[in-house]
Structure 1
């Protein structure tokens, strides 16, 4: 799967606000340039009190260098699947996600997010043959959770 295919898929879900950070948007910090953030915002207004339900990142961030996202053509899809789905997919509770013994740079491998795993985030570097279908399924799950949160608050 390409980064554009993933962005198009999520952007096509009803009520999604897709924000691609660029130097020209006037509000994104430089560290986020080139990355894409997905929010459930059916009114089209950027939420101020919520995190995105998924992101696509294209480079290392401070404290998150082990994924080696600075390699050419490498990106990572980060998905807030919630603690229940996290445990179902990984076999352990999010709060107990193992730091040692995993390779956050491994491509096409579903894994706990190297920084936000304890909050129920999963990640996939360059989803492809082994993780492509699961990535789309998990993006739908995260979308559903974000939509339900919005409706509860609304």
Structure 2
């Protein structure tokens, strides 16, 4: 999958706000070139919600294990939730997990090297082996984000 294919897929889900920081838009320079997906049916950037998925194109401080400094390398990060995380990794997000696996391996679903304890999964350069799984996980993360949004909206009207 290419970055544009991922952006098109996620952007086609209902209520998704896609943010692609770039020079001149007021976003921090270190975010330029990355993509952030929010569930925001009103089209406004949520002030209290985190993105449910991101595509990052470079290493961030403290997050270099995926080696995104390699040419044509990016990582899809997915707030998969506890159930999906456990299904994919074999352990719950806050449990000590297996130290096995290479966070720079491509086309492999892994615990996010930094945010795995929060239930995030990641895929470096999703390809033939992980395309369907990546889409499934993105749909699940979108569903979780939509559910959180609806619960918040319902609570606010009480």
TM beyond 0.5: yes
Match of 1:136 in 2: 135
The 5-angstrom pairing of residues 29-40 of structure 1 reads 29-40=28-39
Moved over 3 A (4+): none
Task: Tell me how far apart the structure 1 counterparts of residues 96 and 8 of structure 2 sit (CA, whole Å).
Answer: 30
Task: Tell me how far apart the structure 2 counterparts of residues 24 and 110 of structure 1 sit (CA, whole Å).
Answer: 34
Task: Tell me how far apart the structure 1 counterparts of residues 38 and 142 of structure 2 sit (CA, whole Å).
Answer: 8
TM-score, normalised to structure 1's length? 0.96
Match of 2:59 in 1: 60
Native 8 Å contact 1:97 1:112 kept in 2: no
Structure 1: stretches of 5+ with no match in the other structure? none
Match of 2:156 in 1: none
SS at match of 1:153: helix
Native 8 Å contact 1:23 1:30 kept in 2: yes
**Rg larger in structure:** 2
SS at match of 1:38: strand
Match of 1:149 in 2: 148
Question: What is the root-mean-square deviation in Å for CA atoms of aligned residues?
Answer: 1.0
Match of 2:22 in 1: 22
TM-score, normalised to structure 2's length? 0.94
Task: Tell me how far apart the structure 2 counterparts of residues 135 and 97 of structure 1 sit (CA, whole Å).
Answer: 24
Deviation, 1:70, is: 1.0
